Amino acid sequence: MFKRLLVQLLIIVCLLLLGLTTQLYAKEQRHLVVLNWTEYLAPELIEKFETEFNIKVIQVYFTSEENRTEKLLENNGYGYDIIVSSAIDIGRYVKRGWLKSLNEEEIPNLKYIDISWRQGYAGAEKYAAPFARGTTGIVYRADLVKEPITSWQQFYQPVPELQGKISMTGDSQDYISMGLKSLGYSANSENLEQLKHVEHLLLSQKKHLRSHEYISVEADSAIVKGDVVASMIYNSDALMVKEHNENLTFVLPKEGGGLWIDSFVISAYAKNYASACDFLNFFNRPKNAALQSMYSYSAPANVEAVKLLPADFIDNPVIYPTAAELKNSEFYLPLSPQGQRQRNAIAARVLR
Amino acid sequence: MKLSIKLPLLLLPITALSLTLVGYVCYSKLNQNAEDKTFKHATALQSQIISHLDSTIATACANASLFADYQTVRYFLLAADENARYDLMQRPLQKSLIDIQKAYPEYYEIRLILPDGFEDIRIVNRDIDNVTENEATRSSFRQLDVDKDINKHFAINPDNGELAYYLYKKIDLIDINTGDFSVKPKFYGYLSLTLDTSQLRKMLEENPIGTSGGIFLTDHYGNAIITPSHMEWANDKKLVAEFQAETVGHKRFHKLDLNGKSYYHTRDQVSNNILIHTLVSEDEILKASQSMGSVVLNTTVTMLLLSLTIILYLLRVQVLTPLKNLQLAFIRIGEGDELVQVPVTSNDEIGELNKHLNQMSLELKKSNDKILNMAFCDNLTQLPNRFMFHKNLKRAMKLALMDGTQLALFFIDLDNFKRINDTMGHQTGDELLREVAKRLASNLRGNDYIGRISTENETNHLARLGGDEFTLILQDLDSHKDVIPLAERIIESISLPYSFAGQDHYIGASIGIAVYPGDGDNTEDLIKHADLAMYQAKANGKGNYHFYSAEISNLAIQRNKLEQRLRKAIKDGAFELNYQPIVDCQNLNTRSLEALIRWKDNELGLVSPGIFIPIAEDTGLIHEIGAWVIDAACKQLKAWQDSGAKDISVAVNVSGKQLEKPEFFEQIRNSIRHSGIKAGTFYVELTESAIIQGKPEVLETLRKLRNMKVMVALDDFGTGYSSLSYLKNLPIDILKIDRSFCQQLEEKNNNILLSAIITMAQALNLKVIAEGIEEQEQFDFLKQSGCDMLQGYMFCQPQTIKECTKRLRDEKHITG
């Protein structure tokens, strides 16, 4: 009897030990995969989150919006917990079934987010946790350009001093839309004539481009070195790279720029849903949101965070352009399939 | 026909034929080669193109299959709706297709075509506008076989109007969105690759065969697919028809006739509906060989001319010229050229022939020389003979005429040779002549006369004419007097004794000398004149030389005339005999009468016997004359004896010549018998020379005469060489001392000699008659010396028969 009890006890101990080690091992393996732009989330916040929640954050970077979609398509949306996405793609991802809707109970800090931001795109409101807002404009080297750049037209039809020294983003959405704007059309135009027009413009500009890759914001960036004197850029990146050279000047062209909102979304296939919720909750703590905002020079969606931002941040016209400046700027809107197809074809021809 | 024509005529066609044959064989071989080479080249090109095409197509098929299997393609086609398709799927798909195209730029159009023909994605790497996105409007699309995994064909790309190779990979998918994998895959569209054919075209363009020929592609019906620009002419309906008739895959070119021109064609299958053709015009193929052919032709002609020239040259140098030389050599040999030697330059038959000819000529020359030697040489002395002498003389005279020098001709005649020859025999005579020749020759080697004797052979200048006659030609004289020392030396050397069989013999030489120019214009004259001069020398006393002069010639003419007249005289009996009394020394009574011939010619007048007797002797007339004299003398003696003069005898002079004649004795005997004279009253007078040789026949004749009581007197004793001791062996009765003794009694102790002779003769029981007594002292001396009889003008001159008869009557020999 006793003996039998002993054996049972041993087995229990063994099982317990086994369970413990398994649990310990599992705890060590915990990680959160974030699909993200480079140099976007403030490293100190990531560290803080990791410490606080005892989880490893693994960041997978994409180089452009399209690149993100490609990466997601590779595994049909699998492999990531959190995705940083622009507003327009969220709806598409949702349709594809790649995203999980956000539960405010699980992420209580969502309440700090300006509701109007969340409702900006149809079909995205339940999935997106917007955290940054910005514009798409031009950064140029005031010291290397004789004539200040004020328009897309200057950028798309570069004068000789700019030829060969301008850099474009790799996103067809950006360069086609801004191209349309430089021609005075809407960024979301589906007009075939206008599209043909812009294709022609892009093809003629192409020979003057130094690169079709989004410019780096690091110290070794081509624009810092002066190899490039003007580039299409997101305003936040412009300010980040400006840390390396004071002469860098961001301009929201007079034709108007692009408007964008970046959001966190949780993958439908997230392995670590709870931690993903923790991550979103953590980044929406007003203080963290403010830190993130200041790190990335982008206007926060977190209403409480805005209150924490210093006055010079709020007053920075690059981050907070005036209504007049934004007058001609546009958000990218979903297009009809054929419209999108046309743009894709243009992109294919331009990029080939 | 001559060889120089015959051989080229023979060689020309052979050379021409063989060279032409070689040329033709080369030409046809070249043609064959050109065709083979072109065929090889064409088939190699074809297979290169086929393999290029095959591999391109195979690669494209494999790639199309690979690309069609891309996840982006699947996502794109399986997208739930158009939004998803174009918003999300298209860009990544485009990017992967662009990447593909960057890796395979030859797929210049990569398309994704939906089953209904909608061209959903089109990636091009060049600026080509898309004519339509609805492929369903294109027949080539409608013709695609939906059951085929891959459709492929050449077609004109309507977008750019260029020929392209199209490849449609059919994409069948199972829609995973349905979650049901058991359903059959559904046809979702085509992944289409459009392949650039410019590479292929380039290959065709860059590989023309000739200038207009080359390779092109057609479909199975012969419709042109790719025709290089230089071969547009090949798109010919007729050609297509021809192709259809042909089987694929020849080993050789197939010959076609198009629009009257010849073409070579071959074809092969690329894939099931593509044919690759090679079409070359025959002219092009054969152009090289034809130009080569003309080169061959030119070369052939050149070689022909060259080889003919060389052959003719060699023929001339190696055969004809040597043959000609040989021929000339034969002609020369035939013409009697003595030694003909042709150079032996080659080792061939002609060389051999030349060698043999040389050998032959040499042999001929040797035997000719032998014959010549025999013909031109005196066998005995090895001196040139009369014939050769004439030749040499002729030449020497020519030379002298040219050089303006003089030459002298010696005519040497031996004195007394005949006597030695007669007494000692021919062998000794021959020996003597050889010795004389030697002495003459050795004398010529002395240089004590001015003139060139012999640079070659002195015997050319010396010659023996026959018998004891020698001649000598002396050239390069400045003056005829230059030869005198030589003449004297010859005479002296010849007169030295000759010793044969322990016995010494003496002969002399008389030399007649004629000088050219001057003494004759031709050889005949010169020889004749030298001969005359020699006679003159002899006439002047033997052992002498004499230059020819015109007088001698006159003498000769006279002598000739004399001879003629003499013959006439004999015929006419124009001679008469005179008699000179020989008186007794004591009482001066006539004892005998010496009959002396007297010839009074109508033209010449009285001719002395001293002149005509030698001529008679030389001509042989002496026998007739002598016979007449003996006969006449006998008759006269008989007349006188009948008149009473019983003790008177008559002497007749007999020449040696007469004595030598065997009939002589018979003749005398007959004359004596017929005349009926008293025995012992007739006697003959002989000169010393007639008997001195002691010929047995002569001595026998003399003995027989003496037996017949015909006495023998030795006339002219003292002029010859006979010694007194010799006299005792001679069958003589009377010794007549030569008149020179008596007439020169005072000189050289002649008187002592004379008395000694008389004493000696009387001791030998010979009667002695002295001749030529003209003066009292002579008579006195001779009387005192005891001479038996005397003869001379002192007593009586030769007298006619009448006068003699009177004298005999006066002396009472004749009574009445």
3-state SS of chain A is CHHHHHHHHHHHHHHHHHHHHHHHHHHHHCEEEEEECCCCCCHHHHHHHHHHHCCEEEEEECCCHHHHHHHHHHCCCCCCCEEEEEHHHHHHHHHHCCEECCCCCCCHHHHHECHHHHCCCCCCCCCCEEEEEEEEEEEEECCCCCCCCCCHHHHHCCCCCCCCCEECCCCHHHHHHHHHHHCCCCCCCCCHHHHHHHHHHHHHHHCCEEECCCCCCCCCCHHHHCCCCEEEEEHHHHHHHHCCCCCEEEECCCCCCEEEEEEEEEECCCCCHHHHHHHHHHHCCHHHHHHHHHHHCCEECEHHHHHHCCHHHHCCCCCCCCHHHHCCCEECCCCCHHHHHHHHHHHHHHHC
Q: Which of B47-56, B111-120, B419-428, B502-511 is predicted least confidently? A: B419-428
B135 Cα to chain A: minimum distance (Å): 17
Say yes or no: A30 and A165 in one domain: no
Say yes or no: A203 and A99 in one domain: no
Closest chain A residue to B121 measured between Cα atoms?
A: A345
Helix locations, B573-695, DSSP H: 609-619, 622-643, 656-660, 664-675, 688-692
B364-411 tens-digit pLDDT: 778 777 777 777 777 788 888 888 888 888 888 888 888 888 888 888
Under an 8 A CB cutoff, do B91 and A74 touch?
no
Say yes or no: A225 and A346 in one domain: yes
Q: Does A340 touch chain B (CB under 8 A)?
A: yes
Is residue A46 within 8 Å of A282, Cβ to Cβ? no
pLDDT at residue B446, as a whole number: 53
User: Which helix (H) or strand (E) is B108 found in, with range?
Assistant: strand B107-113
Chain A partners within 8 Å of B102 (Cβ): 352
| Residue A4 domain-assigned (yes or no) | no
Under an 8 A CB cutoff, do A337 and B94 touch?
no
Say yes or no: A252 and A165 in one domain: yes
pLDDT band at B723, cuts 50/70/90? low
What is the mean pLDDT of the segment spanning B743-753? Answer: 76
The whole-angstrom distance between residue B812's C-alpha and the CA centroid of its chain comes to 94
| Residue A5 domain-assigned (yes or no) | no
Say yes or no: A141 and A129 in one domain: no
pLDDT at residue B36, as a whole number: 83
In the predicted structure, residue B795 carries a pLDDT above the cut 80: yes
Q: Does A172 touch chain B (CB under 8 A)?
A: yes
Say yes or no: A82 and A99 in one domain: yes
| Residue A51 domain-assigned (yes or no) | yes
Chain A partners within 8 Å of B92 (Cβ): 66, 69-70, 73
- The rounded percent of chain B whose pLDDT value lies above 70 is 93
Q: Does A190 touch chain B (CB under 8 A)?
A: no
Domains of chain B: 3-41+292-328 (no CATH), 48-282 (3.30.450.20), 336-373 (no CATH), 377-548 (3.30.70.270), 573-810 (3.20.20.450)
Closest chain A residue to B82 measured between Cα atoms?
A: A337
B110-154 tens-digit pLDDT: 999 999 888 888 888 888 888 888 888 888 888 888 888 899 888
B548-577 tens-digit pLDDT: 887 777 777 777 788 888 888 888 888 889
CA distances from A340 to A317, A333, B629 (A): 33, 11, 188
pLDDT at residue B479, as a whole number: 79
| Residue A245 domain-assigned (yes or no) | yes
Say yes or no: A108 and A235 in one domain: no
Say yes or no: A341 and A224 in one domain: yes
Taking only the tens of pLDDT, chain A with its 352 residues reads 455 655 665 565 555 555 555 554 445 568 999 999 988 999 999 999 999 999 999 999 998 888 999 899 888 889 999 999 988 889 889 988 899 999 889 999 999 998 888 877 777 788 999 999 999 999 999 999 999 999 999 999 999 989 999 999 888 889 999 999 999 999 999 999 999 999 999 999 999 999 888 888 888 999 999 999 999 999 999 999 999 999 999 999 999 999 999 999 999 999 989 999 999 999 999 999 999 999 999 999 999 999 999 999 999 999 999 988 888 899 988 889 889 999 998 988 887 7
DSSP code, position B502: T
Chain A partners within 8 Å of B79 (Cβ): none
Say yes or no: A310 and A328 in one domain: no
How many domains in chain A?
2
CB neighbours of B653 closer than 8 A, spacing ≥ 6? B594, B595, B596, B629, B684, B685, B686, B715
CA distances from B468 to A219, B284, B416, B462 (A): 155, 105, 10, 13
B444-499 tens-digit pLDDT: 765 544 344 444 444 457 888 888 888 888 888 877 788 888 888 888 888 888 88
Strand order in the sheet with B150-157: B119-124, B107-113, B186-196, B162-173, B150-157
pLDDT at residue B449, as a whole number: 42
Mean of all residue pLDDT scores within chain B: 82
| Residue A75 domain-assigned (yes or no) | yes
B593-640 tens-digit pLDDT: 999 998 888 888 888 888 888 888 888 888 889 999 999 999 999 999
| Residue A288 domain-assigned (yes or no) | yes
- The rounded percent of chain B whose pLDDT value lies above 90 is 5
Segment 57-86 of chain A within 8 Å of chain B by CB? 66, 69-70, 73-74, 76
Under an 8 A CB cutoff, do B72 and A349 touch?
no
B669: its two tokens: 């005997």
pLDDT at residue B816, as a whole number: 61
Under an 8 A CB cutoff, do A73 and B121 touch?
no
This model of the complex carries an ipTM of 0.82
Say yes or no: A209 and A85 in one domain: no
DSSP code, position B620: T
Tokens 């008739």 belong to which residue?
B245
Say yes or no: A228 and A338 in one domain: yes
pLDDT at residue B458, as a whole number: 47
Tokens 């012969």 belong to which residue?
B222
pLDDT at residue A80, as a whole number: 93
| Domain extent at residue A223 | 136-258+324-351
At A96, which amino acid appears?
R
Q: What is the CATH number of the domain that holds A309?
A: 3.40.190.10
Question: For the CA atoms of chain A, what is the radius of gyration?
Answer: 23
Torsion of CA B358, B361, B367, B369, to 10 degrees: -100
Is residue A97 within 8 Å of A77, Cβ to Cβ? yes
Say yes or no: A97 and A230 in one domain: no
Under an 8 A CB cutoff, do A352 and B124 touch?
yes
